[in-house]
């Protein structure tokens, strides 16, 4: 039976309020290969495909800094055509001075995360499986149940393997690693406060329980 509630046809765009307006525009142009479709001075519209705009950057007065510990959006994510393009993007960003904050194989995606000038986190990724059916089946697998967070990788090493001619079938494999605690996610991704809370939680869960009297 079809869903009686009409769904939207697509996720259309994202608007970022910017403290570092010019840097943000530059960053997203470089990361997404985006072009400016409209410049209204204090708001710039960007697109990287046939949508009229995918991203807008707005200059607003008096914005507070993003402390990465507020409820709301954690990150936004963009899928690239293949591993070559993903790692080419990594190389382009590196050359421009932007290092990723986390590179991890989630199982269903191989992902490279960045933090923009206003500390929004953005994910670049490629799908590991050829179809949504395969991805959905993987999400029910033992490997994903054991570690839904990710197995970290070095993009330089992965790029070298790709350039040596290793096949996608081997490059896309995730090394089985067993369970992973969220406190091992890089601090740069989590933000200092969340990272500390997770570390403390982990420490307290390890503390010996006091015997009752």
Task: Indicate the residue among 136 and 163 with the shorter CB distance to Fe ion.
Answer: 136
Task: Indicate the residue among 118 and 123 with the shorter CB distance to Fe ion.
Answer: 123
Task: Indicate the residue among 44 and 150 with the shorter CB distance to Fe ion.
Answer: 150
Number of residues engaging Fe ion in binding (CB under 5 A)? 2
190 binds Fe ion (CB under 5 A): no
Task: Indicate the residue among 77 and 96 with the shorter CB distance to Fe ion.
Answer: 77
123 binds Fe ion (CB under 5 A): yes
Contact between residue 43 and residue 57 where contact means Cβ atoms under 8 Å apart: yes
DSSP calls for 9-72: S----EEEEESSHHHHHHHHHHHHT-EEEEE-SSEEEEESSSSS-SEEEEE-TTPPP--S-SSS
Contact between residue 33 and residue 49 where contact means Cβ atoms under 8 Å apart: no
Interface region with Fe ion, contact rule CB under 5 A, candidates 122-130, 142-150, 177-185, 186-194:
122-130
118 binds Fe ion (CB under 5 A): no
Interface region with Fe ion, contact rule CB under 5 A, candidates 22-30, 42-50, 123-131, 140-148:
123-131
Supply φ then ψ for residue 102, to 5 degrees. Answer: -165, 130
Q: Tokens 């991890």 label which residue?
A: 104
Q: Minimum CB separation from Fe ion for residue 2, in Å?
A: 28
Q: What gap in Å lies between CA 141 and CA 146, rounded to an integer?
A: 9
105 binds Fe ion (CB under 5 A): no
Q: Which residues contact 93 (CB under 8 A, 6 or more apart)?
A: 30, 31, 99, 100, 114
DSSP-derived 3-state class of residue 191? coil
Q: Minimum CB separation from Fe ion for residue 3, in Å?
A: 24
Q: Minimum CB separation from Fe ion for residue 78, in Å?
A: 10
DSSP-derived 3-state class of residue 144? helix
Task: Indicate the residue among 77 and 203 with the shorter CB distance to Fe ion.
Answer: 77
77 binds Fe ion (CB under 5 A): yes
Task: Indicate the residue among 44 and 122 with the shorter CB distance to Fe ion.
Answer: 122
Binding site for Fe ion (CB under 5 A): 77, 123
């Amino acid at each position: 039976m079809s869903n009686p509630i009409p769904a939207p046809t697509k996720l259309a765009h994202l608007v970022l309020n910017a403290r570092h307006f010019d840097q943000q525009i530059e960053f997203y142009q470089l990361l997404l290969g985006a072009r400016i479709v409209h410049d209204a001075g204090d708001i710039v519209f960007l697109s990287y495909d046939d949508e009229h705009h995918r991203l807008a950057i707005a200059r607003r007065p008096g914005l507070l800094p993003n402390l990465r510990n507020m409820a709301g959006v954690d990150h936004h994510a963009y899928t690239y055509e293949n591993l070559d393009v993903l790692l080419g993007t990594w190389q382009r960003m590196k050359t421009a001075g932007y290092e990723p904050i986390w590179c991890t194989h989630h199982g269903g995606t191989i992902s490279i995360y960045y933090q923009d000038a206003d500390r929004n986190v953005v994910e670049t990724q490629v799908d590991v499986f050829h179809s949504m059916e395969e991805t959905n089946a993987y999400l029910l697998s033992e490997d994903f149940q054991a570690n839904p967070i990710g197995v970290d990788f070095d993009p330089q090493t992965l790029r070298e393997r790709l350039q040596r001619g290793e096949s996608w079938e081997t490059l896309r494999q995730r090394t089985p690693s067993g369970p992973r605690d969220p406190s091992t996610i890089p601090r740069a991704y989590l933000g200092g406060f969340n990272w500390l809370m997770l570390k403390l939680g982990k420490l307290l869960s390890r503390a010996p329980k006091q015997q009752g009297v």
